[in-house]
Structure 1
Amino acid sequence: METAEQKSTAFKKISEGKKHNISLYSFIEDWYGTPYRFGGDNRFGIDCSAFTRQLYNDVYNLPIVRTSIEQFTQVERIATSELKEGDLVFFKIHSKRISHVGVYLYDGKFVHASVSQGVVISDLGDAYWTRYYAGGGRMNHI
């Protein structure tokens, strides 16, 4: 569970981000804390790929495919060192195939719909995410 300090830090980073990309960080602020629900696609509950799909639609006006596996097949693969704001980050969590996706922000941070915490900002450098990281990808239209 996210602590009050972590949430406060996240909202400070969201405020900072708004100075550079108001539509992206306003979207994150609006959805922050929305609970996770497998197959969900609304404010009552959303899964990771529906979240990335909604973000791409609302922020970049770019419709993308629905599932994390489909999204993985649609991106140009890029090295972690080349990730930039808006790129997708993929994970294989307890699976041999892609099972989770998020949107890269900056300095190793990414936003995603977490099973345990809902929509949250996490760090690729955390041991958990490092263990399951499968790679980054860029949609050519953003």
Structure 2
Amino acid sequence: MKKFVVLLSGLVLLFSGIGTAYANDTKLNVAIDEVMGTPYKYGGTTSEGFDCSGFILHIFNQFNLKLPRTSKDQSETGVKVNKSDLIPGDLVFFNTSGKGISHAGIYIGDGKFAHSASSKGVSISKLSDSYYEKRYVTARRVTAVENYEELMEEAHKKGNAQSTI
């Protein structure tokens, strides 16, 4: 029995490591990494500067997924997802103004999301950060199965990541 537990533990560690490496090398994460640190710019939709919804548009346009321009309109697109059921590529929405949906990001897994913050530009934050946890409103899944598979595909699978996005 002890050998079985040791073997099982080893397999869990092996496969969890593979899963982590795979998740970090997805086309979605490569696309986000390419614009990491881009400054915040109100109304911005290019790598010169993004607002939160412009950042989302930029990333999803690379996968031929068309979304509305504003975070409020994006929050009404796709299918509602419970916070506990989030998968990478889901959109997360926040009320940072006190007047409804006013901020959005892309869930990337492990309780984290990528977004363009007015203070930091494109960055990664945790849903559990007290600021975002208090202001979380909803999440939406805007990808079809085939689009999700492309988002999560290993970036090196088809050669150079930049040429496949």
TM-score, normalisation: structure 1: 0.83
Letter aligned with residue 56 of structure 2: T
CA offsets, 1:79-130, max 9 Å, x none? 1000000000000002231000000011110000011000001000000000
Structure 2: stretches of 5+ with no match in the other structure: 1-19, 149-165
Give the deviation of 1:16 after TM superposition: 6.0
Equivalent in the alignment of 1:130: 133
Equivalent in the alignment of 2:43: 39
Give the deviation of 1:15 after TM superposition: 9.1
Choose between structure 1 and 2: higher strand proportion.
Answer: 1
Alignment RMSD (CA, Å): 1.8
- Once residues 22 and 46 of structure 2 are traced to their aligned partners in structure 1, the CA distance between those partners, rounded to angstroms, is 24
Structure 1: stretches of 5+ with no match in the other structure: 1-12
Letter aligned with residue 124 of structure 1: L
Q: Return the index of the structure with the highest Cα Rg.
A: 2
SS at match of 2:66: coil
- Once residues 83 and 108 of structure 2 are traced to their aligned partners in structure 1, the CA distance between those partners, rounded to angstroms, is 12
When residues 14 and 125 of structure 1 are mapped into structure 2, their CA distance, relative to the original with a 3 A threshold, is farther
Q: Do the aligned residues in 1 keep the contact of 2:112 with 2:125 (CA within 8 Å)?
A: yes
- Once residues 29 and 21 of structure 2 are traced to their aligned partners in structure 1, the CA distance between those partners, rounded to angstroms, is 6
- Once residues 120 and 21 of structure 2 are traced to their aligned partners in structure 1, the CA distance between those partners, rounded to angstroms, is 17
SS at match of 1:73: coil
Letter aligned with residue 31 of structure 2: F
Indicate which of 53, 60, 72 corresponds to 1:56: 60
When residues 76 and 55 of structure 1 are mapped into structure 2, their CA distance, relative to the original with a 3 A threshold, is same
- Once residues 78 and 140 of structure 1 are traced to their aligned partners in structure 2, the CA distance between those partners, rounded to angstroms, is 12
Count of equivalent residues: 126
Q: Do the aligned residues in 2 keep the contact of 1:76 with 1:140 (CA within 8 Å)?
A: no
Indicate which of 14, 17, 27 corresponds to 2:24: 17
- Once residues 16 and 70 of structure 1 are traced to their aligned partners in structure 2, the CA distance between those partners, rounded to angstroms, is 28
- Once residues 25 and 14 of structure 1 are traced to their aligned partners in structure 2, the CA distance between those partners, rounded to angstroms, is 12
Equivalent in the alignment of 1:30: 34
Letter aligned with residue 27 of structure 1: A
Equivalent in the alignment of 1:7: none
